[in-house]
Amino acid sequence: MLLDKSKIIAGPCSAESQEQLRAVIIELKELGITNMRCGIWKPRSRPGSFEGVGEEGLKWIKELSAEFDINIFIEVINKEQAELALSYDIENYWLGARTTTNPFLVQEISKALNNKSKTVLVKNPIAPDLNLWLGAIERVEKFNPQTKIIALHRGFSTFNLGSSRNNPLWEIAFQLKEKKESIEIYCDPSHIAGDSRQIQFFSQMALDLGLTGLFIEVHPDPVNALSDADQQLNFLQFKDLLAGLSIKKKPQDLTLDELKILRSEIEKIDKSIIQKLEERLNLSRKIGKVKEDNDLQIFSYPRYKAQIKNYCDEFDLDSNLIEQYYRLVHSFSVKVQSENK
Ligand code: PEP
Ligand code: MN
């Protein structure tokens, strides 16, 4: 199945000129896409980089919206920007990751939008904090009951990033969906990847995980872009991306015998692992008792480090998995020993 084009929002990281925006709109329309993004105020982590064209960009957008049938999304970072943008009849917005981090800003922007916007995309906050994301969505909702709100997953700043610019931590998006079933979640693969060569991978992954739309940076000439040059796609790359993406069937819709058999094997393994975890915790309690009787500290860092290394050396399994498993079960052992249950 092909991705529904109405679920794609694409465009430059920053609006740089009206000609640049017009070129992007023409390309999008040719591809059947009617939603464009462009930042006109750019919140940059460090000073000295391009911070957007500002109000001038609102004039360009107003004119282009009259010329073309296109929904143009911009980011607003405070209430003054929201009020100014509304005065130019802008209807579609997103709240960026740095804004969602701050409930005061979200509240004042939500109030300023005053139920006058068509769509607001709420990016996840920079930190992996589900309640901040959820809270931002609730605040926008509270003051804008007529507005369509979409959650936008752009990855998180974490200490261990792996190879991407922002860590996707997909589980947080799943938990958001659990807490708020009605919300649609789109993915921003550009800010997760930070690298144009990885956009295809993260886009397909998002769709395979059940996210319903994509928010992608596309620029006529990415190499010379004034912001985020490394992660923007040129038109040809964007066309190729769209041609390569597919929506797969949901596994729960299938009744494949082969899948049923393999799943029942997996369930058996899960049950035996859970049973073993119980045995492990019981042993851990006994160890806790010995430590207490002998006035020993609970946690031995050298042993903890050595065990992770031993298991990684002994087993030919992804060492990340071994390490995460060990850290998790070990933290439970420490908990039961310190509670002395
Ligand atoms: C953006 O979309 O251009 C942007 C600034 O993103 P984020 O808030 O995700 O960093
Ligand atoms: Mn960007």
**Nearby residues for ligand 2 (ion, Cβ within 5 Å):** 13, 228
| pLDDT classification of 253: cutoffs 50, 70, 90 | low
pLDDT at res. 30? 97
259 has pLDDT over 60: yes
Which residue pairs, CB below 8 angstroms and at least 24 apart, start in 326-332?
329/277, 329/280, 330/304, 332/281, 332/284
| Beta strand 71-75 pairing with 35-37 | parallel
- Which residues, listed in sequence order, are joined to residue 167 by a DSSP beta bridge? 156
Sequence-distant (6+) residues with CB within 8 A of 121 are: 9, 73, 93, 94, 95, 149, 150, 151, 152, 186, 215
Q: How far apart are CA 82 and CA 90, in angstroms?
A: 9
Burial class (CB in 10 A: 0-12, 13-18, 19+), 260: exposed
Task: For residue 280, give both structure tokens.
Answer: 């492990």
| pLDDT classification of 48: cutoffs 50, 70, 90 | confident
Measured in angstroms, how far is the CA atom of residue 76 from the centroid of ligand 1? Answer: 11
Task: For residue 154, give both structure tokens.
Answer: 């752009």
Considering only 46-50, 66-70, 184-188, which range has the smallest mean pLDDT? 46-50
pLDDT at res. 161? 67
Under a CB-based contact definition with an 8 Å cutoff, are residues 242 and 31 in contact? yes
Under a CB-based contact definition with an 8 Å cutoff, are residues 214 and 190 in contact? no
Q: Is 123 in the pocket of ligand 1 (CB under 6 A)?
A: yes
Task: For residue 166, give both structure tokens.
Answer: 């922002």
For atom 9 of ligand 1, which residue has the closest CA?
97
Measured in angstroms, how far is the CA atom of residue 191 from the centroid of ligand 1? Answer: 7
Give the nearest ligand 1 atom to 228 CA: 3
Map residue 250 onto helix, strand or coil. Answer: coil
Measured in angstroms, how far is the CA atom of residue 27 from the centroid of ligand 2? Answer: 19
Interval 137-183: pLDDT, tens: 999 999 999 999 999 999 999 876 678 999 999 999 999 999 999 99
Q: Structure pTM?
A: 0.85
Measured in angstroms, how far is the CA atom of residue 216 from the centroid of ligand 2? Answer: 9
Under a CB-based contact definition with an 8 Å cutoff, are residues 155 and 191 in contact? yes
- Print the SS3 string covering 268-298: HHHHHHHHHHHHHHHHHHHHHHHHHHCCCCC
Interval 94-122: pLDDT, tens: 999 999 999 999 999 999 999 999 999 99
Q: Is 39 in the pocket of ligand 1 (CB under 6 A)?
A: yes
Which residue pairs, CB below 8 angstroms and at least 24 apart, start in 260-269?
none
Measured in angstroms, how far is the CA atom of residue 228 from the centroid of ligand 2? Answer: 5
Q: How far apart are CA 60 and CA 185, in angstroms?
A: 29
Q: Is 120 in the pocket of ligand 1 (CB under 6 A)?
A: no
C-alpha distance from residue 267 to each of 271, 325, 328 (Å): 6, 18, 21
pLDDT at res. 341? 52
The number of the ligand nearest the C-alpha atom of 74 reads 1
